[in-house]
Structure 1
Amino acid sequence: MVCHTMSVLLDSQVEAFLHDLSDRGLPPLYRLSLEAARETYRELTVPDEPVDAVGSVTDRTVPGPAGEIPIRIYAPSGDGPFPPLLFYHGGGWILGDLETHDALCRALTDATDCVVVAVDYRLAPEHRFPAALEDCYAATRWVANNAAAIGATTDALATCGESAGGTLAAGVALLARDRDGPTIDHQTLLYPPTNYAFDTDSYEENAQGYFLTREDMKRFWQGYLRSELDGRHPYASPIRATLEGMPPSLVVTAGFDPVRDDGRAFVDRLEDAGVPARHLEYDEMIHGFLPMLDDPELDRAREAIDEVGAAVGGAVR
């Protein structure tokens, strides 16, 4: 059993996952070519078959700033309409797509009883900041204006982002505030990187050995940003923004995660700005534990999904 510097034990199921990665000789993502990193990420996150059944799954596109944006709409079973929940996937802004987070979106659909709309935003480095953010904002605005077209209600709207998608979710909330809409009633940020910096205790404690490494994060940021100056922009590093007027928030962090302290600090900033914010830390988990839902033994991931479901459901109903 691996022991953390704060005397917290790594979850035994996660430890088995990390040992399996080591036994397979899988190199860190930052050492792989972009193509190989994308393929490896897909292998780690896409289950052999869907884990959670939902009412329906529909693919379509919506207008974006640089062309059509693919989205995937997950509707719960039963009679709608249901509140809409926008979802922005993780992958360091350079990895991931609709398939890598399909299992998580299905679980969120069941847990929240919302119409989950996953956004297949443009990836870096082919499309650098703020391309992904503008895509996510455009899709969110489209859903707010066309909710009935996807079987969603029009009186509430929530957002959720995982990892880099959590950074995008915070950025979407800032854009919605600064551009006069749409109104976001709740945001869920799942272990979000909120600052272009690598100097926190968690970056030191969890620099390597726990799936996501500090070097991975450096590569992700460097691929996403056009320049160092972008890293100081509040839409890229939302912890640098003025946070008054942000929506009520749930922030989930993991103990064995280089960006753990980014999430903790963001909660503090939200509270200082008078924003209702709830923080859940899963001390014994690693970054990215939620898309591991294809492993039915990862009990803590299911617990976290239930917490998210309760928080979102309570905010949009």
Structure 2
Amino acid sequence: MTLHPNLDPDLRAALEALPPLSYDLNTADLAEIRRARAAACLPPGAGTKVSDVDADGLRLRVYRPAGAGDEPLPCLYWIHGGGMIIGLPEMDDSRISRFVEALGCMAISVDYRLAPEHPYPIPLDDCYRGLLWTAENAAALGVDPDRLAIGGNSAGAGLAAGLALLARDRGGPRLRFQLLLCPMLDDRDDTASAAQFEEAVSWPRGNNRFAWKAYLGDLTDVPVYAAPARATDLSGLPPAYVDVGDLEVFRDEDALYALRLAAAGVPVEFHLWPGAFHGFAGALPDTPIGRRSTAEQIEALRRGFVGGDI
């Protein structure tokens, strides 16, 4: 693949030293990609204690600061990415431990079922079921139910945005904040950036189309909870932080969603990272731009746990 001329120089240097990050989902072996992704998970930081709990048949991965006392802690309910078709909570162990150790918070990551074997609404229903269980068992988990945020990366951020709409419309749980990192929001795939990045590092347009088809199946009337960009009413949602790279398919749908949140009266902070590809901060966290992005996310989450405008 030819790298984009506007690619951040540090990202370019890192990418040139690595095997290609992109693959074609239309021709790839999905089972093999899942196995490879699971084998490549990085461990959490030494300052994070990790355990798994059974939430009535749904696995939740719990992260807690090492040495934390008995006081209830703010909690980030996290949803992993992977186009709704790939991934598992362990893939974000390293990233989540950065949040936990920097903020002294807890995090809980949901092991939702994947499409195409389990299409919409199953993945979102799993995420909502895990969120309800977390809120209902907050005391036993050591979670402060008044400081519960949701977040995710890529498809996980899209699920988190759908979850925020679902929680609003079902009357809870109450959410303090939503951390939406390069969210996958719009199945229509008809923005200028979608057309611009037919080929792109990490997540080209063809993969996006494949993943949406796997998730939605034969649905013709797509619900707003499945594709939050379709929602016409964004009022009453928790404050949000949205970020995205400027060299990726999701650039325009994410920018528009952030603007529409603001127009609906939702406090929102939006970051467009110049020269960045999809998922750059997770893939290359030790580059200068990766470190800056992570630091901004941590500070946004810190403010989000406190409440009010971010």
Same fold (TM > 0.5): yes
Measured against aligned partners, the alpha-carbon deviations of 1:59-83 in whole angstroms (never above 9, x if no partner) come to: 11113xxxx1111111023334210
Q: Which residue of 1 aligns with 2:193?
A: 202
For the residue of structure 1 that corresponds to 2:157, the secondary structure is helix
Q: Which residue, out of 48, 52, 59, partners 2:45?
A: 52
Q: Which residue of 1 aligns with 2:224?
A: 234
1:159-198 alignment runs, 5 A limit: 159-198=150-189
Opposite residue 86 of structure 1, the aligned amino acid is Y
Opposite residue 167 of structure 2, the aligned amino acid is A
Q: Which residue of 2 aligns with 1:257?
A: 248
Report the more deviating stretch, 206-215 or 31-40: 31-40
Q: Which residue of 1 aligns with 2:74?
A: 83
> Which ranges in structure 1 are unaligned for 5 or more consecutive residues?
none
CA distance in 2, matches of 1:191, 1:291: 11
Identity of aligned residues (%): 35
CA distance in 2, matches of 1:2, 1:123: 31
The verdict on how the C-alpha distance between 1:25 and 1:150 changes in structure 2, with shifts beyond 3 A counting, is closer
Opposite residue 34 of structure 1, the aligned amino acid is L
1:40-119 alignment runs, 5 A limit: 40-42=36-38, 46-47=41-42, 50=43, 52-63=45-56, 68-77=57-66, 78-79=68-69, 80-119=71-110
CA distance in 2, matches of 1:203, 1:141: 34
Q: Which residue of 2 aligns with 1:269?
A: 260
Say whether the 8 Å CA contact 1:255–1:283 is kept in structure 2.
Answer: yes
CA distance in 2, matches of 1:37, 1:17: 22
The verdict on how the C-alpha distance between 1:74 and 1:131 changes in structure 2, with shifts beyond 3 A counting, is same
Q: Which residue of 1 aligns with 2:149?
A: 158
CA distance in 2, matches of 1:276, 1:57: 32
CA distance in 1, matches of 2:229, 2:266: 13
For the residue of structure 2 that corresponds to 1:158, the secondary structure is strand
Q: Which residue of 1 aligns with 2:292?
A: 303
CA distance in 1, matches of 2:214, 2:55: 26
Q: CA deviation at 1:16?
A: 3.5
Q: CA deviation at 1:239?
A: 1.4
Measured against aligned partners, the alpha-carbon deviations of 1:242-264 in whole angstroms (never above 9, x if no partner) come to: 11111100001111111111110
Does 2:309 correspond to 1:314? no
Opposite residue 203 of structure 2, the aligned amino acid is L
Say whether the 8 Å CA contact 1:54–1:74 is kept in structure 2.
Answer: no
Say whether the 8 Å CA contact 2:80–2:155 is kept in structure 1.
Answer: yes
Say whether the 8 Å CA contact 2:48–2:100 is kept in structure 1.
Answer: no
Say whether the 8 Å CA contact 2:22–2:203 is kept in structure 1.
Answer: no
Measured against aligned partners, the alpha-carbon deviations of 1:101-132 in whole angstroms (never above 9, x if no partner) come to: 21111122123321010111011111100111
Q: Which residue, out of 7, 11, 21, partners 2:8?
A: 11
Q: Which residue of 1 aligns with 2:30?
A: 34
Measured against aligned partners, the alpha-carbon deviations of 1:147-177 in whole angstroms (never above 9, x if no partner) come to: 1212221222101111000111011111111
Measured against aligned partners, the alpha-carbon deviations of 1:190-223 in whole angstroms (never above 9, x if no partner) come to: 0012111222111122221322100010111111
Figure out how many residues of one structure are paired with residues of the other and give that number. Answer: 302
1:213-224 alignment runs, 5 A limit: 213-224=204-215
